[in-house]
Amino acid sequence: MTEQDQSVDETKTPVEPAEPTTETPEQVVETDKTEATEEVVEDQPLVDLQKKYDDLEDSYLRSQAEIKNMHARHQKEQASLLKYDGQALAKDVLPVLDNLERALATEATDDNGEQLKKGVQMTYDHMLNALKDHGVQEIEAAGKTFDPTIHQAVQTVAVEGDQKADTVVQVFQKGYYLKDRVLRPAMVVVAQ
């Protein structure tokens, strides 16, 4: 044999027969866990996609609900604006109505004064009817129990005779509603 052949023979090692492997039940369970982990790793992208889908669906449903709520709120605001549409105009007209009432409270001394007073009365009635047609109503105050939501007490007086405490005894300036909202509270004197 040559040296080369001898070195090749030396490098060859005899192959021994493999021992039969017998796995214990613990080893089998461990192998199953490893395989299950590999399956979970393979299913992870699917789980991630399902979670992302659920999140997007939830976000979509919330957005739809928010849009619906915004629409309802807008409708309510529009209805409120239309309901109280003439509020600014009515507030501006009330002092004119007060001045007409003061003019009617004066005494006429001659025929010309009577004619003028008659014209003022017609103007007052016409303006009052126009305001009523648009939902403006007078707040009844005289003889009523004082209510701070619709009355403004400008003075208090002692209770006299059969008067009850917290009763309106005099009205300095009429108050008005616009539909169900107080346009201007009545300025009153209250018995205490």
Taking CB atoms within 8 Å and a gap of at least 24, the contacts of 128-135 are: 128/97, 131/90, 131/93, 131/97, 131/176, 134/86, 134/90, 134/178, 135/86, 135/177, 135/178, 135/179
3-state secondary structure of 171: strand
What pLDDT digit, counting tens, does each position of 58-92 carry? 999 999 999 999 999 999 988 877 777 788 888 89
Domain boundaries in the chain? Answer: 47-84, 85-191
In the block, tokens 């648009």 appear at: 134
- How high is the mean pLDDT in each 10-residue block of the chain (192 residues)? 54 53 58 57 84 93 94 89 81 92 90 92 94 91 90 90 85 91 92 88
For the chain, the helix, strand and coil percentages under 3-state DSSP, each to the nearest 5: 55, 15, 25
In this structure, are residues 126 and 97 in contact, taking their beta carbons and an 8 Å threshold? no
Assign a CATH topology to domain 85-191: Nucleotide Exchange Factor Grpe; Chain A, domain 2 (2.30.22)
What pLDDT digit, counting tens, does each position of 146-161 carry? 999 999 999 998 888 7
d(CA 97, CA 176): 11
Query: Whole-structure pTM over 0.85, yes or no?
Result: no
d(CA 163, CA 160): 6
And the tokens for 176?
A: 């008005």
* Averaged confidence pLDDT in the chain: 83
Report how far apart, in Å, the C-alpha atoms of 95 and of each of 6, 29, 99, 127, 166 are. 129, 94, 6, 12, 27
